[in-house]
Structures are given as structure tokens and as C-alpha cells.
Amino acid sequence: MAAHNDTGNWGEAKAAEFLIQNGFEIIEKNFRSRHVEIDLIVKKDKMLIFIEVKTRSGVAFGMPEEFVNVTKARNIMRAAENYIFDKNWFFDVRFDIISILIFTNGKVEIRHIEDAFCR
């Protein structure tokens, strides 16, 4: 497996740990709808949250969350619509980004950006 895939998988595991520690329930990991993957689907109270995880080992090309473009967000929202319909979800939904930055000294910064697609 390529190094960037290893980094991405590691980041998704870290994001799931972070969310569990903050009271979220993991519902799905790597949910696929057609050709779109949603990294994590979590629940907190009556809120269903679709999460895109972006992990980077440097900021030379920008912050991790800057790699979620309009097309990616639109595709995730379409996949989420399919999930919501299939599960008959009638409560609130939200789209978040978990941004993970790995520094050269080994320090890790995790940022949870709520309602990321509404900005």
C-alpha cells in the first residue's frame, strides 16, 4: 500500500478515537455509495454527522481541510442523501471535517471543523 494510503488510514483511526473520546458514536466507517466514500458517519444525540478526514504531514501545500473542494463536498452530500434515505433518518444532519496535521517532531494536531460545508 502507498504511504499516503497508510497516512490516510492512520488519520481515520485517530479521528475515530478522537470522536469517541468526545462522546460521538461511530455508526459507519468508509461508507461507499456508488463511487463516493464517506470516511466516518457518527451520531451524537439526534444528530447524524458525515465526516471527511484529511491527514497531512506538512502544510507546504496548505492545511488539510483545504483539500476538501466544492466537488468533493457535493459528492459527499449526495452519498449522504442516499444513506439518509436508506436508513429513514428523520433528524438533523451535519457535515464536518476532521483535520489532522502531523508535524516533523511527531506532534499531532487534530481539529474538528463543524458544519464545514456551509461556509
The mean pLDDT value for 72-97 works out to 95
At 48-58, the pLDDT tens digits run 999 999 998 87
25: phi > 0 → left, psi -120 to 50 → alpha, else beta; which?
A: beta
- The pLDDT of residue 1 is above 80: no
Percent of the chain with pLDDT over 90: 72
Cβ proximity of 88 and 48 under 8 Å: no
Bridge partners of residue 44, in order along the sequence: 47
Helix spans in 22-91 (H): 70-87
At 2-23, the pLDDT tens digits run 555 677 889 999 999 999 999 9
Which pLDDT score is estimated for 13? Answer: 95
pTM above 0.85, yes or no: yes
Distance CA(1)–CA(12), nearest Å, equals 16
CATH domain 3-118 topology: Trna Endonuclease; Chain: A, domain 1 (3.40.1350)
- The pLDDT of residue 87 is above 70: yes
Q: Where are the domains of the chain?
A: 3-118
